[in-house]
Amino acid sequence: MNTTNFQYGSDVLGIGTVIGLASGSLRGSFSPAAEKRIRASQAQVADIVSRQKTVYGINTGFGILAHTKISEEDTRILQHKILQSHSVGVGDAVPTEIARIMLITKIHALAQGYSGVQWETLQRLLWHVEEDVIPVVPEKGSVGASGDLAPLSHLFLPLIGLGEVVHRGVRRPAREVLEQYGLAPVQLGPKEGLALINGTQFILAYAVKGVQRLHNCLEAADIIGAMSLEALTGTKAPFDERLHRLRPYAGNSLVAQRLRFLLGNSEIMQSHVDCGRVQDPYSLRCMPQVHGASRNAWLHLRQLTEVELNSVTDNPIILEEGDTISGGNFHGQPLALPLDYACLAAAEIGNISDRRCYLLLEGKWGLPLLLMRNVGLNSGFMIPQYTTAALVTENKTLCFPASADSIPTSLGQEDHVSMGSISGRKLSQVLDNLEYILAIELMSACQAIEFRRPLKSSGILEAAHEFVRNFVGFASEDRIFAEDIRQLHRIIRDFSFVNYCNRFSRALGIELNAGFEKDFGI
């Protein structure tokens, strides 16, 4: 049974906690202190309205209309209209998990008590999460500057009985679902509409998932790369700790350690210690440097994402003393840059993985050409590498940094924008491709390693190979490899491959990330 063990607006929100709340394995609530802050902030907004003090977004228009005064009686209508007018998203709906994370992170930001929203509004938002009534949010339309205006507007349309939701897997009009539960639309108070749609929660949701998915790909890439190295009778000498002390990047050192553990006590490795080969190709020898650089990029994204998770990103901010500050905490640049960096980091993992796929096909170092004995009649594993080449090239086209561009909006009032929403979506696309690339390398490495029998690899890598063979068998002749790729893609994407390898290594008393857990574990 789920238990309430996170308090919005009071506890520190970490990436693992967000994922737990989104999956339903954790539940959230509001502490009495948070409720007190929320009610006090809303009372300050009511006081501003009653005193007719001019404050942006409370009793003025928005953007270029900031100098247009709104009467006291129209302040509530204004907040209703902003959700309607800013709901201009286009394209496919984002995954429901992304929309759910948007809700969770927005609740946490508003519950800190600097936004002037009603207590009842936050309770309704929590209801959406707990009852799994998830708004439909189009994927395109945000420039990531005044926050993610369009996607957040769609996210909160159901509050006022508009828009659509996904309920029990079915897409339905929000009003129908509210009526089913006997709920009326929320009557938004002054500033609430603006507080709801100002913020970076669309960018942030993609960053959270990007951190989780890229971490899984990095862990998988080390394991799969080690399997390819074994199949190609490469050496583990370049992973010597003494070498990496001389260039002590944290990511490099971690990957070198993981490779040492993954290759430890391997019969295959021991069988060719005096083979006379001087150096391996870079895609084998430089895994600590390449995988490690991507680890460092991942760490940067993780650190900044966790700052954003616990930040207040709407505008204006209502301070405890009743002061208001109209600033730029909604601007997406702090996440846009690391998301673009992470996009490049993910693409490079795919790039080096494709090179290892190619090496496995060359027919060198005792492996058969194209990883089959009878080629000619059979094409062997030639064509799966075409797919990795295509995916790698597609990823390269996605690596142009969205944050390098800015197009003025709101008639020049919002004259520099982050485009961070595009950065987040591009990272997701690159990770989609990377998971397939790694699946194809895993398929090829498992095929190749069987040509080293009866010699065995390390205990961990043998377990990884056995796990794969539960889904995909050895190929002695051509077949439809798309099905094999699909099976292995699934066990990479759902984390089961990495989780299995980690559990097995711990059973052997080996912690692959020992000494690096604080920075590089989630």
Instruction: From 59, 75, 76, 79, select the one nearest 67 (Cα to Cα).
Output: 59
56: annotated active-site residue = yes
Using only C-alpha atoms, the chain has a radius of gyration, in whole angstroms, of 26
What is the distance between the alpha carbons of residues 417 and 71, in angstroms, rounded to a whole number? Answer: 30
What is the distance between the alpha carbons of residues 59 and 26, in angstroms, rounded to a whole number? Answer: 39
What is the distance between the alpha carbons of residues 287 and 226, in angstroms, rounded to a whole number? Answer: 9
Q: DSSP labels for 406-434?
A: ---BGGGTB-----HHHHHHHHHHHHHHH
Q: To which H or E segment does residue 418 belong?
A: none
Asked whether 228 and 445 are in contact (CB, 8 A), the reply is yes
CA atoms within 13 A on the CB side of 369: 6
Asked whether 178 and 185 are in contact (CB, 8 A), the reply is yes
- Marked catalytic residue, from 8, 56, 114, 341: 56
Pairing of strands 27-30, 4-8: parallel
Phi, psi of 408 (to 5 degrees): -60, 145
Instruction: From 344, 342, 345, 371, select the one nearest 356 (Cα to Cα).
Output: 371
Q: Which residues pair with 324 in a beta bridge?
A: 318
What is the distance between the alpha carbons of residues 112 and 108, in angstroms, rounded to a whole number? Answer: 7
Which amino acid type is present at position 454? Answer: P
Q: Which tokens hold the place of 235?
A: 């050496």
| Burial class (CB within 10 angstroms; exposed 0-12, middle 13-18, buried 19+) of 27 | middle
What is the distance between the alpha carbons of residues 136 and 157, in angstroms, rounded to a whole number? Answer: 9
Active-site residues, by number, are 56
